[in-house]
């Protein structure tokens, strides 16, 4: 082994160089082939200590092809993290989830840089370093800085940070591009959640359900969509899985019964097989006007549907015609439905046993079933 090659094999990589995933497989082989044929066309950046800052893949390729590398030394001015990101981001074809996960590592480094600047200010004898001297962006806004730097959503950075802390294996999957952040969050929820118990052994006349719909069925939900958030709070279920509950539901359903079923617009068509599998037929619906808007593909979404379905003959006990459109501002708690709808149901159907499927709490006069309500 030549002297220069032996020296390069022992060269250290700065932690900032590990922000971006290593090239593997065919991609790395193509880089090696290009360097073997054309030489190193872009210099490798190092710091004053000789550690590689940018060009880890090129450096590895030079060693494996025995191509002597060229180096440039970083000036040391400005943010090292920003410099390395700017050098790499345009080269790599990364998904939003990958950028979000990588940004979490950059976030930690940006916070360390901010702390170093704060300490440097203290050494200069500043009297009020926290507010007057240190810029406000150094306090609590590093996440937004990292998100902007990686051209991704700040929420993705926040979600990725949690995944990295709680499930390093899923974080690695995201870095490699094998999983998206929403997929990893759903997997994380499944790990925490226990299987729900069997349905109570009773006959129920009034059924109320807010299923954890799996929005992948609709073909309209992508990485950034609000509808997909349900799976980040409790395990989602496919249409087939919900239909499989039909046997248990029908076994515990009174001859004459009513079902109030929540569904959102993207899944309106797909919910009908579930209704039939549970032994009900659709009759009509309430529209919940949430007042506050959510992002949607085709419009600004501010409503959700509560379908009324019956089995046998189950018209309301009380003839009170509530307005089919209920305007009630939604809360900040995910998937929480207004208490007014439960009051409507209890007013229309005061008689018979009631059960709420996928319940998020316990309520007087109701049996609950699900991970959170059982």
Q: Where are the domains of the chain?
A: 3-88, 96-192, 204-369
SS3 221: coil
pLDDT score for 54: 93
pLDDT at 215: 67
What is the token pair recorded at 224? Answer: 């950034």
Helix (H/G/I), strand (E/B), else coil: 156: helix
Q: Please say whether the beta carbons of 261 and 306 come within 8 A.
A: yes
User: So what's the pLDDT on residue 63?
Assistant: 95
Q: What is the pLDDT of residue 216?
A: 55
DSSP code at position 230: G
**pTM for this one?**
0.55
- Predicted pLDDT of residue 131: 42
Spacing of C-alpha 352 from chain mean position:
40
CB count in 10 Å sphere of residue 226: 15
What pLDDT, on the 0 to 100 scale, is given for residue 346?
Answer: 97
Class of domain 204-369: alpha beta
Tokens at residue 195, please?
Answer: 């299987």
Distance separating alpha carbons of residues 305 and 308, to the nearest angstrom: 10
Q: How far apart are the first and last CA of the chain?
A: 68
User: Coil, strand or helix: which one is 362?
Assistant: coil
Computed on alpha carbons and rounded to an integer, the radius of gyration of the chain in Å comes to: 28
Per-residue pLDDT in tens (0 to 9) along the chain, 374 residues: 688 999 999 999 999 998 888 888 999 999 999 999 999 999 999 999 999 999 999 999 999 999 999 999 998 888 898 888 888 877 777 888 988 888 888 888 887 887 887 787 777 765 544 443 334 444 446 677 778 888 887 888 888 888 988 899 999 999 888 999 988 988 887 787 666 778 899 999 999 999 988 765 443 344 434 444 444 445 678 899 899 999 999 999 999 999 999 999 989 999 999 999 999 999 999 999 999 877 677 888 889 999 999 999 999 999 899 999 999 998 766 567 999 999 999 999 999 999 999 988 889 999 999 865 44
pLDDT at 221: 40
Cβ–Cβ < 8 Å for 231, 215: yes
């Amino acid at each position: 082994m030549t002297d220069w090659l032996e020296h390069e094999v022992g060269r250290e990589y700065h932690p900032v160089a590990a922000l971006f995933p290593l090239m593997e497989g065919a991609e790395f082989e193509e880089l090696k082939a290009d360097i073997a044929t054309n030489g190193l066309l872009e210099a490798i950046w190092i710091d004053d200590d000789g550690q590689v800052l940018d060009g880890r893949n090129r450096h590895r390729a030079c060693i494996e092809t025995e191509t002597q590398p060229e180096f440039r030394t970083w000036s040391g001015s400005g943010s090292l993290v920003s410099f390395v990101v700017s050098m790499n981001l345009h080269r790599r074809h990364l998904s939003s989830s990958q950028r979000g996960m990588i940004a979490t590592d950059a976030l930690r480094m940006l916070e360390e840089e901010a702390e170093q600047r704060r300490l440097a200010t203290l050494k200069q004898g500043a009297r009020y370093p926290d507010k007057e001297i240190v810029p406000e962006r150094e306090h609590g806004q590093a996440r937004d800085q990292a998100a902007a730097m990686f051209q991704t959503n700040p929420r993705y950075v926040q979600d990725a940070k949690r995944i990295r802390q709680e499930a390093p294996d899923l974080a690695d999957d995201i870095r490699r591009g094998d999983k998206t952040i929403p997929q990893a969050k759903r997997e994380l929820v499944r790990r925490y959640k226990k299987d729900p118990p069997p349905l109570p052994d009773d006959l129920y006349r009034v059924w109320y359900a807010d299923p954890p719909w799996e929005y992948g069925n609709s073909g309209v939900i992508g990485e950034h969509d609000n509808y997909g958030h349900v799976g980040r709070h409790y395990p989602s279920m496919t249409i087939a899985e919900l239909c499989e509950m039909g046997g248990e539901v029908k076994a515990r359903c009174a001859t004459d019964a009513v079902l109030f079923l929540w569904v959102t617009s993207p899944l309106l068509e797909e919910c009908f097989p579930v209704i039939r599998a549970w032994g009900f037929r659709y009759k009509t619906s309430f529209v919940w006007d949430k007042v506050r808007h959510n992002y949607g593909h085709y419009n600004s979404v501010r409503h959700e549907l509560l379908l009324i379905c019956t089995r046998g003959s189950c018209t309301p006990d009380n003839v009170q015609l509530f307005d089919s459109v209920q305007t009630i501002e939604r809360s900040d708690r995910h998937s929480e439905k207004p208490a007014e709808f439960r009051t409507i149901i209890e007013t229309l159907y005061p008689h018979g046993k009631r059960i709420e499927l996928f319940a998020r709490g316990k309520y007087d006069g109701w049996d609950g079933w699900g991970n959170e309500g059982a």
